[in-house]
Each structure stands twice: as C-alpha cells, then as structure tokens.
Amino acid sequence: MNNENQLINARKQKLKLLYDLGVNPYPKSVKRTHHISDILQNPDKFIENEEELYVVGRIRALRKMGKASFFHIEDKSGRIQIYIRRDEVGRENYKVFKKSDIGDFLQIKGKVFYTNTGELSVRAKKVKFLVKSIRPIPVVKEKRQDGKKVLYDQFADKEMRYRKRYLDLLLNPDVKDTFLKRSKIIKFMRNFLDEKDFIEVETPILQPMYGGAAAQPFITKHNKLDMELYLRIADELYLKRLIIGGFEKVYEVCKDFRNEGMDRTHNPEFTQIELYQAYADYNDVMDLVEEMLTNMSKEIFGKLQFEYGEYNIDLKTPWQRKPLLDLIEEYADINIKNMSPEEIIDFCEEKELELDVKTYGKAIDEIFKNLVEPNLIEPTFVIDYPKEISPLAKSKSDESRLVERFEVFIAGMEIGNAFTELNDPFDQRERLEEQVKNRELGDLEANEVDEDFLEAMEYGMPPTGGLGLGVDRIVMLLTDSHSIKDVILFPQMRKKD
C-alpha cells in the first residue's frame, strides 16, 4: 500500500461511514440562495435581518475541534468562514460534518455573523454533503504578516501545474485571474470587431493544402477519403476567399497549428485573431490595431501602462511606425540601403547569423530578428518588409524589393503581422512559384502553389488589408506572464509514463 492509497483510503473510509449514516455523499439536489460574494459585499443586511441563507462551495480550509469547528468554503465568487457547533446543528449532523475533508463540497444553511476575532462568518444550522472528494488536494496554507500574504507549501511544481491545471487553478489564485483576463481580452476583441461591422466566420482547420504562413504543418489523414490533410498553419487564404466572395470585413478567432520547436513564446497550437477588411490598406490596419489594443487595455485594466518584467510599457498612442530598413540602420549600425544583397549576406556571415537560404530577404530578416527585435520595447509598428519573405503582401509602388507589410512589437515580442494584401493574380502566382523554388533550396517553411486560391483571386479580390494578432502573446503582455504556457490552459506537454 503506497502513501497515496493511504490518504485515499482514509477518505474512502469516511465515504463508507457516510453511507452507513444514511447520507448520500453525491446527492442530486442543491439549494443555494446566495453566492458568497453577496454576503461579503453587504454583510450588515444579512446580520440585521437575521436572514437564513444557503451557501455552497468547496472546503478550502478546515479547523476541527471537539464539539465545534471552523472551515472556509469557496465558490466562484469568493471564500467565507463557516462556524459549526454540535449543539446548534445537532449530534447527527455534526457527526456527518466530521467526515468532511478539505476539497469536499458542502451546502450550508445558516445565518451571517461576526466571530470574536471579527471575521465575517456563517453560523451553520445544517450542513449537507454535495460531494465527497476522494483524492487529497495539496494543502497550501497562508498567513497574513504585515499585511502581506505568506504562503506555506505553495503548489509550485511547474510540471504538475501544467499537467494538472485544475489543481493549479484551485491552488494559485493568480492563475485563475490570468485566465479570467484572457477571456475578457478575447471577448473584448470580438465585441470591438462586431461593432465595426466585421463578420465572425469559421474556416477549415483540416486543409488539403496548407498556406498563409511560413511554417511546417501537422499532418493527419482522413480514412474514408484516403486523403492526407494538414492542420492549418494560418487562416489567411480561406479568409481572403471570403473577401472575394463579397464579405467586406471578416474575422476569425482561430487556433492554428505549427509543427515547430516550443519555447517561452511558442506552443504548437496557439490562438490568433485574423481579420480582413476590403478597401483598406496596412495603414488602416495599423490604426485599427492601435485603437483595439488601447481601448481594450483601458476597458479591462483601466490603464495604458504596464509592467512587463523589467520593462515599463506605455500603450499611449500614436505608436511609432518605422521602416524596417531604418531600424536596421539604427540598431545594426550599417548602411543597409546602399548595400548589395551580396554585401548583406556577407554581413550575416560576419555576425554568425545563419541563413538556410541565401537571399536578400532572408538576410534582412535574420539581421532584423537578431539585432533589432530585442530592442523594440515600446509599441512599434515595423513597416515595409522584403518581398521574398512576404509572398502574400502587395509590393510598395516605389521600392520593388519591399512590400506593404508591418509587424507590431511590444516588449521585444511580435504580437501581430499584417499586409496590404496582394490581389494581383499574376504577381501572386509568380511569388508562390518563387516560394516553391525556395522550398527546393531547402526552405521547409516555404509555401506551395495553391491553385484553388489563385483561381479564386483571378475572379478578383478587392484591395484588402489583413491582420493576424497573436492572442496568447497579447495575454502574456497584459498579465505579465513570461511563458506562453502560463496563458494556455492546457499547454502541450510530452507524454508521461
């Protein structure tokens, strides 16, 4: 018998004793007249009226004594102390109560009062089991010291926190708070876009051909069709088909999947909001991003200033908009605009920046990532990217190597990517064919030619601005989370055992 069984067996014993006492530890009916927060917010009302009420919740702390006990129960709204006396609930009921453990769910009938030490509590008239918990929840104790909470035996093992998120949520209140904020952030973005007459749509996750981003896909198979399918790496090409189909503003809250390495800012499945707006360009999209994120910040957090680790971030608009090449000149201290592609590639080798494909675009990208990105702390729109690494963006009319594309950075983290979408079907075909060449040269993330998409574009796509926003990363920023695992409820983990 191992120790877990010892603890579990103790609880199973109590379960049996409850049955012996004629108590159903998993009853169907529940009576609740108030949430715990109702009491916390207006205790005097309940005390003056001597109102009898029913509260329910999970036992989170328990101090049993011989003929009286204190415990705390918690529902979604808060936590309150319960005082129970044998002479007030009766011998039978107290005996039932004595079988309770931390983690059990109880229903309490009682009246609100203050204890001698001044803690708002409910004086039980009757307790009823709602659920007997069989497995012990780790006990985290806390003490107030100089107004600060000191935690004892905090549930801290990261692996267990991610694998058993339900325990993490129960035992680490900040975690719950982060995910409540995540929910509000996504809800805000939806509302914001809905109010601007965007249509929310759903496009295929299982795709016969993947595209819209540079990434390696997950591959799966449809048995009946005997067909290979890919989990989408982006929604882009389908959302553009909808613009072609006559929707002028569409968005999708999308899980995308990329079969790549995982680290602090990458999880194999992650959430984006992609949106496309006809008759707009990337300047309009920059305005939209600014407006959406600052309004969101004000509404949800009541402020525009954030601490993110060592950084102080201010979302106050306007955010700076700087051409990528200017930023390279600023941070890499080279005159990149006057350098030939060969010189730029040489510069990369000098700096030991590895290039899988030796092209102008890849070289610029590499310099930017290594020498510029980490410096982009304040919100910054980096504009005008090399064409070779942006096969879906429209060329800048005055500069043939560049396209109308921006990425938005905050705290050195890329949180969004947008283009004035390429809508010239001839140019688009050329660009995709160029991608295939890169693929053959070893660029595993290069796109393939999606003939169906090209055909759609040949029918005519209006001028369009498009955007992908990294929802997980935005949540990270606004909740001061430094790993994407801390903003995804069930992050990807290796199989254990």
Asked if 166 interacts with RNA (CB under 7 A), we say no
Sorted by sequence, the CB contacts under 8 Å of residue 195 that are 6+ apart come out as none
Is the CB of 184 or the CB of 266 nearer to RNA?
266
- Site for RNA, residues 336 to 355, rule: CB under 7 A: 353-354
Is the CB of 38 or the CB of 414 nearer to RNA?
414
- Site for RNA, residues 447 to 476, rule: CB under 7 A: 447
Asked if 375 interacts with RNA (CB under 7 A), we say no
- Contacts of 206-213 spanning 24+ positions with Cβ under 8 A: 206/230, 206/231, 206/232, 207/231, 207/232, 207/238, 209/448, 209/450, 209/452, 210/234, 211/236, 211/237, 211/447, 211/448, 211/450, 211/453, 212/236, 212/237, 212/392, 212/447, 213/256, 213/258, 213/468
Asked if 203 interacts with RNA (CB under 7 A), we say no
Closest distance of CB 87 from RNA, Å: 4
Asked if 14 interacts with RNA (CB under 7 A), we say yes
Asked if 20 interacts with RNA (CB under 7 A), we say no
Closest distance of CB 440 from RNA, Å: 16
Contact pick of 392, 408, 413, 469 for RNA (by CB under 7 A): 392
The neighbour count for residue 407, using CB atoms within 10 Å, is 19
Strands (E) in 315-433, as ranges, are 320-323, 380-386, 395-396, 399-410, 413-420
Which range binds RNA by CB under 7 A, 39-47, 219-227, 263-271, 273-281? 263-271
Asked if 4 interacts with RNA (CB under 7 A), we say yes
**Calpha distance 407→384 (Å, rounded):** 9
Contact pick of 28, 76, 143, 224 for RNA (by CB under 7 A): 143
* Count of residues of this chain found to bind RNA when the rule CB under 7 A is applied: 80
Sorted by sequence, the CB contacts under 8 Å of residue 385 that are 6+ apart come out as 324, 361, 364, 365, 393, 402, 403, 405, 406, 407
For 307-336, give the secondary structure using H, E and C: EECCEEEECCCCCEEEEHHHHHHHHHCCCH
Closest distance of CB 355 from RNA, Å: 8
| Helices 282-301 and 471-478, packing angle to 10 deg | 40
- Site for RNA, residues 274 to 313, rule: CB under 7 A: none
Asked if 134 interacts with RNA (CB under 7 A), we say no
- Which residue type sits at 344? I
Asked if 50 interacts with RNA (CB under 7 A), we say no
Asked if 488 interacts with RNA (CB under 7 A), we say no
Element of type H or E holding 471: helix 471-478
Closest distance of CB 168 from RNA, Å: 11
Q: Is 268 helix (H, G, I), strand (E, B) or coil?
A: coil
Asked if 174 interacts with RNA (CB under 7 A), we say no
Closest distance of CB 390 from RNA, Å: 6
Is the CB of 102 or the CB of 334 nearer to RNA?
102
Asked if 67 interacts with RNA (CB under 7 A), we say yes
Asked if 62 interacts with RNA (CB under 7 A), we say yes
Contact pick of 369, 430, 437, 448 for RNA (by CB under 7 A): 369
Closest distance of CB 75 from RNA, Å: 18
CB of 399 closer than 8 Å to CB of 384: yes
- Strand partners of residue 230: 207, 219
Sorted by sequence, the CB contacts under 8 Å of residue 80 that are 6+ apart come out as 36, 39, 40, 55, 72, 73, 120, 121, 122
Contact pick of 25, 379, 391, 466 for RNA (by CB under 7 A): 391
Asked if 248 interacts with RNA (CB under 7 A), we say no
Is the CB of 139 or the CB of 339 nearer to RNA?
139
**Calpha distance 291→408 (Å, rounded):** 13
The neighbour count for residue 37, using CB atoms within 10 Å, is 14
- Map residues 403-442 to x or -, x wherever contact with RNA holds by CB under 7 A: -----------x--x-------------------------
Which range binds RNA by CB under 7 A, 147-155, 176-184, 188-196, 200-208? 147-155
Asked if 400 interacts with RNA (CB under 7 A), we say no
Contact pick of 16, 45, 158, 303 for RNA (by CB under 7 A): 158
CB of 132 closer than 8 Å to CB of 5: no
- Site for RNA, residues 74 to 133, rule: CB under 7 A: 81, 83, 85-87, 101-102, 113, 115-119, 121
Asked if 149 interacts with RNA (CB under 7 A), we say no
In the chain, the largest separation of any two C-alpha atoms, in whole Å, equals 90
**Calpha distance 187→35 (Å, rounded):** 24
Closest distance of CB 190 from RNA, Å: 22
Contact pick of 112, 130, 292, 389 for RNA (by CB under 7 A): 389
Torsion of CA 368, 369, 374, 375, to 10 degrees: 10
Asked if 387 interacts with RNA (CB under 7 A), we say no
